[in-house]
Amino acid sequence: MQPKETLTPRERVLKALNHEVPDRVPIDLGGNQTGIHKNAYRALVERLGLAEEIEIMDAVQQLARPSEAVLQRLRVDTRYIAASAPESWKGGITRACRDGHNWQDLTDEFGIRWSMPEDAPYYMDITLHPLAGATLADVRNHPWPKGDDPSRFAGLRERALRIRKETPYAVVSGISGVVYEICWYLRGLEQWFCDLMDNTEFCEAMLDQTLKFWMDWFRVFLDEVGDVVDVIMIGDDLAGQNGPLFNPAIYRRIVKPRHKRLVKYIRSRTQAKIWYHTCGACADLIPEIIDNGAHILNPVQVSARNMDPATLKRRFGEQIVFWGGGVDAQHILPRGTPAEVSENVRRNLEAFMPHGGYVFNNVHNIQGEVPPDNILAMFDTAFEYGFYR
């Protein structure tokens, strides 16, 4: 007989985040790092017999905004809120023709151009790094956006309170606090890695600008909803498939002090748990993330090197909550059978769920080619086998 739920979704999430044992493992879907690509979502709603318009919530990743009907069908315990772009930003999708292709372009507040070819409309990638050839003076003179522009946060508190007062779900923020990655978006990844090696002053100037943006942003965000949100999502990708993207000693010297300062400030203003997002084989950096003050690690890329679920739980399970890691998203979820997906989910649950401290999700976003039956197998298995007995 299937056990019965005894907690509200929010109670369930909070118990898990406090390393207590809830009635079942909480289930998540719908954030910038726990979302679903428009193609997979379209196939899923058709499979469920729902008639929905697809709303894009993240243009760069081409993520669909899951409807309430889908979230309830998948038994999702979280609901997301996000601040907006400021009124002064005249963004939006424009069309361009380059290199014999038609493109959809989006230039963000920082001046970074993201582009998607119209003949392959899957994602947006960076096609213009505005500080690629910049000097230190150019960094200082760059038109950095204002993080504390109040128009970003118009209506945010009302939306957050609506979830808190009118629904039983945990309130989770959209992605924020992207201190490190924005630097290479502006500079270009290869050049930024060269800068980390031999141009420390330049890197620190860039990082200080992005940190200032997010410190200003969080000052107003926390004024508005610091007493309402349950989880605040921040993050920068620090690792790849086989290990850290750059020397951990450089991270500790240049990047970590900025990360730690941001987390310290957030924690001084709210009781919300801090979720840190980094993809890849980040096991060597988990002690740094814990030391920075983060409570949660996402997405837990279990198919990367040294990211075995049982090992991670044994080494770090008392110090940090794992949010994600529900299935091998590189191989099994897109290419396996529903039975193989279900078996992989069960094994990962067995590793991660003991003693609480775990929230279920795929590893990162559900990609466009994932079959709907595999999506249903993943979430249904998480529900069926996620009860604490």
Q: What is the pLDDT of residues 300-332, one digit of tens each?
A: 999 999 999 999 999 999 999 999 999 999 999
pLDDT recorded at residue 150: 97
Q: Point out which residues pair with 171 in neighbouring strands.
A: 79
How far apart are alpha carbons 334 and 347 in whole angstroms?
A: 18
Could you give the 3-state DSSP secondary structure of residue 81?
A: strand
pLDDT recorded at residue 141: 94
Residue 19 vs residues 72, 173, 307, 376: alpha-carbon distances, Å: 25, 21, 20, 27
Cis? peptide before 299, omega within 30° of 0: yes
pLDDT recorded at residue 338: 98
How far apart are alpha carbons 213 and 109 in whole angstroms?
A: 11
pLDDT recorded at residue 316: 98
Segments forming the whole domain that contains residue 78? 9-88+147-385
- Any domain includes 357: yes
How far apart are alpha carbons 168 and 10 in whole angstroms?
A: 6
CA 110 to chain CA centroid, nearest Å: 20
pLDDT recorded at residue 36: 98
Task: Tell me the mean pLDDT in the region 26-41.
Answer: 97
Residue 143 vs residues 98, 225, 379: alpha-carbon distances, Å: 26, 28, 44
Q: Point out which residues pair with 322 in neighbouring strands.
A: 297, 358
Could you give the 3-state DSSP secondary structure of residue 101?
A: strand
- Model pLDDT for residues 175-212, shown as the tens digit of each residue: 999 999 999 999 999 999 999 999 999 999 999 999 99
How far apart are alpha carbons 255 and 180 in whole angstroms?
A: 7
Statement: residue 385 has pLDDT above 90 = yes
Kindly state the percentage of the chain with pLDDT values over 70: 100
- Any domain includes 122: no
Task: Tell me the mean pLDDT in the region 101-127.
Answer: 95
pTM, full prediction? 0.96
pLDDT recorded at residue 99: 85
Could you give the 3-state DSSP secondary structure of residue 355?
A: coil
How far apart are alpha carbons 3 and 389 in whole angstroms?
A: 8
Mean pLDDT of the chain: 97
What tokens appear for 195 in the block?
Answer: 């800068």
pLDDT recorded at residue 233: 97
Could you give the 3-state DSSP secondary structure of residue 149?
A: coil
pLDDT band, very low/low/confident/very high, at 22 (cuts 50, 70, 90) = very high
- Any domain includes 110: no
- Any domain includes 114: no
How far apart are alpha carbons 360 and 74 in whole angstroms?
A: 12
The answer to whether 363 and 327 are in contact (CB under 8 A) is yes
Statement: residue 360 has pLDDT above 90 = yes
pLDDT recorded at residue 2: 79
pLDDT recorded at residue 92: 87
What tokens appear for 296 in the block?
Answer: 């949660």
pLDDT recorded at residue 37: 98
- Any domain includes 131: no
CA proximity to 174, closest of 306, 290, 81, 54: 81
- Model pLDDT for residues 54-69, shown as the tens digit of each residue: 999 999 999 999 999 9
- Give the chain's length: 389
pLDDT recorded at residue 90: 85
- Any domain includes 267: yes
| DSSP string for 332-372 | HHHHS-HHHHHHHHHHHHHHH-TTS-EEB--SSSBPTT--H
pLDDT recorded at residue 100: 87
Q: Quick one: angle between helices 200-225 and 256-269, nearest 10?
A: 10
How far apart are alpha carbons 341 and 327 in whole angstroms?
A: 7
**Residue type at 51?**
A
> Phi then psi for 273, rounded to 5 degrees?
-80, 145
- Any domain includes 322: yes
- Any domain includes 116: no
CATH of the domain at 256: 3.20.20.210
Pick 165 or 90 by higher pLDDT: 165
Number of domains in the chain: 1
pLDDT band, very low/low/confident/very high, at 41 (cuts 50, 70, 90) = very high
Statement: residue 262 has pLDDT above 90 = yes
Work out whether the CA dihedral 60, 157, 362, 76 comes out positive or negative: negative
